[in-house]
Amino acid sequence: MIALKQNTAATLRVGPALHYLDGITPVTTLTLSGADQAELLKHSGATVDISGATFAAIAGCDGWFDLSLTAAHTDTLGMLTLVVQDADAVRPIHVRALVLPALIYDSLIGGTDNLQVDVVQVAGAAQDIATGTALATVAGYVDTEVAAVLAAVDTEVGAIKAKTDNLPADPADASDIAASFAGVNATLATIAGYVDTEVAAVLAAVDTEVAAIKAKTDQLTFTIAGDVDANTQSIRDVPLTGNGVSPKFGVV
């Protein structure tokens, strides 16, 4: 679909013009004045004779022509159809174009303007900036959304408050905590002193017992390593005589 700007002269490229018999061979001698029909069909239903319009063959592209359209040709918005028919020369030629408002053409095709996007309706309601309808609608929407947000915030704050209400009214301050730690430290010091005293007592008792054991073991002699020297005075409560060498032991 070819786009044209309303009320603006333009060049419309037309083709291919093919021989009426084989439908293949390009025709380069076609004229609008000599054609059976050369018409523009406007969207409004009007038909315009263009047999006198400028229609020039395009050099180097056989069967194609440039048609010069005037501002009068493009004065009607919508579909514009070109019809060229000559039963003795070419097969029928049809070219369709779309006539656009200048703003839309310049925005989409020319790139020299911006599409106009006025607020006509909001949520199905007609808007009129001049009377403040649009602003009122937007304000109402904002009020609704803000109310919803505030309601959600109230719900969350209520849930948080339900938890914080369980906290003591006068939480312990730093001095209370310091006092508690001081008490703990004192108790630990007492325990440490008690442990030191008890350990010292245990060690003293052990020393006494060890000394007593040592007093006994000091009486043991070992003339031969691993053998305890013993002076046997009696056997089964019967005194012995002799020294075991000469004379030998004897029982009294």
pLDDT single digits (tens) 22-36: 999 999 999 999 999
Residues 6+ away with beta carbon under 8 Å from 9: 68, 69, 70, 71, 73, 74
Domain ranges of the chain: 2-110, 118-155, 175-219, 220-252
Of 100-104, 111-115, 209-213, 241-245, where does mean pLDDT reach its minimum? 241-245
pLDDT single digits (tens) 221-245: 778 887 777 777 777 777 777 666 6
CA distance 77 to 154: 57
What's the confidence (pLDDT) of residue 173? 66
What's the confidence (pLDDT) of residue 29? 95
Output the CA torsion 21→89→58→54 (10° steps).
Answer: -160
CA distance 247 to 94: 162
Q: Confirm whether pTM is higher than 0.75.
A: no
CA distance 19 to 27: 6
**Class of residue 100 by CB neighbours under 10 A (exposed 0-12, middle 13-18, buried 19+):** buried
Note the CATH number of domain 2-110: 2.60.40.10
